[in-house]
Chains A and B, each alone.
Chain A
Amino acid sequence: MSPLGLYRPGDSLPHRLPAGFKLLLMVAAGATSVFLDHPWQGASAVLAVLGGYLLAGFGLGTVWRQVRPLVWVLGPIAVFHVVLGGWEQAAVVLGLVLSLVLLAALVTLTTRTTDMVDAVVRALGPLRVVGVNPERVGLLLALGIRSVPVVVGLAQEVRDAQRARGLTASPRAFAVPLVVRSLRHADALGDALVARGVDD
């Protein structure tokens, strides 16, 4: 039910690992990934991440839902690399992208936003001396995550309203009302944040 890879409660090892550790792991995986250059390495990376999903108690359906939105991107990338560098290069690149995306999704599926935000806030703590407010950054991060489904919902409303009036899909006729609604939403959200004491 959660197409956006939001947190799913659980008790497994991936759930129990500290959020900071999982974030570090993601950074490390990203850094290591540039050294991959054999198809078997790409395949092992994907298998390792799939192992993480199993550990966390998620099935292949969950895995597929994380990848599905990317199919349109991965297909052309694969073709591009097959043509330019052969299937081996394509396999390496696909393995790399797939494993990183799946890893990031696994981290969000097994980590509460609050815990992730807390980890980021702690990591940014030292930047206080140069004037960064880590709590603010953390709040922005949480708001960003929360806003994705809201904006998706607004986009659906705009599209439905246009269909109801028989308007054909022109990008501008879609974008303008969506931007207007999003700005109105942001304005209302700002009021709510103030009312809930955010500028305390």
Chain B
Amino acid sequence: MPVIDIERVSHTYGEGTSRRTVLRDVTVTLTEQRIGIIGANGSGKSTFVRLLNGLVVPTQGAVTVDGLDTRRHAREVRRRVGFCFTDPDAQIVMPTVAEDVAFGLRRRGLGKAEAAARVRETLEAYGLADHADHPAHLLSGGQKQLLALSSVLVTDPEVLVLDEPTTLLDLRNAAAVQRVVRGLPHQVVLVTHHLDLLDGFDRVLVFDEARLVHDGPPHAAVEHYRKLMS
């Protein structure tokens, strides 16, 4: 598994009177395969996971993925760390399913035929093969999220970060996404409010008011979180 190292990281948004520190002195090394992140709204979870692929560069401290600093090696880091957001509509950038999956491949210089083969494999793997030429906007929410996942996975990242991927989905669609995430051989970092998604995870981090307040196996972490919220 890749080694993600977060070293004395603090992060502040805004300037002057609108300054707001959303992460305070977080140090943690992630080497497990399945890592969960939980915490109240606004506790800094999204900011934390955005650090992992360099989408957010910390105002203090450093983040490295397999030794690559996200500040200096943003491109290499992004190739290793795929990212799946909450709102599938905002991640799908091409009008049809197959075109969206092909998007990242073409940008990496794969030939048309090779890209098409990879796209086909990926769509089959995630149950979207019958929708290859469908407009993305006609898919269900769950299918859209699976498409967003496919489009990230087709480029072969080593780490997959998912920021509340099931929050906008109904139970059935959430279950479909959960099944896919469970079966992934990648290192997975998952932010979620659906606590049952964390069953079988190796490690769960709890954030509260910009701090990492708990770090341990899922059961104890969820317990800690529930106490915080009560």
Whether B99 lies near A112 (C-beta < 8 A) is yes
User: Is B93's beta carbon under 8 Å from chain A?
Assistant: yes
**B136 smallest CB distance to A (angstroms):** 7
Whether A188 lies near B78 (C-beta < 8 A) is no
Whether A6 lies near B90 (C-beta < 8 A) is no
State which of A113, A149, A188 has its C-beta within 8 Å of the C-beta of B137: A149
Given contacts A113-B94, A142-B95, A146-B94, contact A192 B137 (CB under 8 A): no
Count how many pairs of residues, one from A and one from B, have CB atoms less than 8 Å apart in the complex: 89
User: Is B91's beta carbon under 8 Å from chain A?
Assistant: yes
Whether A145 lies near B93 (C-beta < 8 A) is no
- Interface majority SS (helix, strand, loop, mixed), chain A: helix
CB under 8 Å from chain B, chain A span 1-17: 1-2, 4, 6-9
**A51 smallest CB distance to B (angstroms):** 24
Whether A195 lies near B78 (C-beta < 8 A) is yes
B41-84 near A? 1/0 per residue, CB < 8 Å: 00000000000010100000000000000000001001100110
B96-125 near A? 1/0 per residue, CB < 8 Å: 100100111011100000000000000000
By beta carbon, the residue of chain B nearest A184 is B90
**A196 smallest CB distance to B (angstroms):** 5
Bound complex: CA A146 to CA B94 (Å): 6
User: Is A185's beta carbon under 8 Å from chain B?
Assistant: yes
Interfacial chain A residues near B10, Cβ < 8 Å: none
Whether A188 lies near B87 (C-beta < 8 A) is yes
User: Is A198's beta carbon under 8 Å from chain B?
Assistant: yes
B142-186 near A? 1/0 per residue, CB < 8 Å: 000000000110010000000000000000000000000000000
**B4 smallest CB distance to A (angstroms):** 16
**B85 smallest CB distance to A (angstroms):** 6
Whether A188 lies near B90 (C-beta < 8 A) is yes
Interfacial chain B residues near A196, Cβ < 8 Å: 91, 93, 103-104, 107, 151-152, 155
By beta carbon, the residue of chain B nearest A9 is B133
Whether B79 lies near A191 (C-beta < 8 A) is no
* Subset of 17 A-B contacts with CB under 8 Å: A1-B138, A2-B138, A7-B96, A7-B135, A113-B94, A142-B99, A145-B95, A189-B90, A189-B93, A192-B90, A195-B83, A196-B91, A196-B103, A196-B152, A196-B155, A197-B78, A197-B108
Given pairs A189-B93, A195-B152, 20 additional interface contacts (CB within 8 A): A2-B138, A7-B133, A7-B135, A113-B94, A139-B93, A142-B95, A143-B93, A149-B135, A149-B137, A153-B89, A191-B85, A192-B91, A194-B55, A194-B78, A195-B82, A196-B103, A196-B151, A197-B79, A197-B155, A200-B107
Residues of B within 8 A of A (CB): 53, 55, 75, 78-79, 82-83, 85, 87, 89-96, 99, 102-104, 106-108, 133, 135-138, 151-152, 155
Residues of A within 8 A of B (CB): 1-2, 4, 6-9, 112-114, 139, 142-143, 145-146, 149-150, 153, 185, 188-189, 191-200
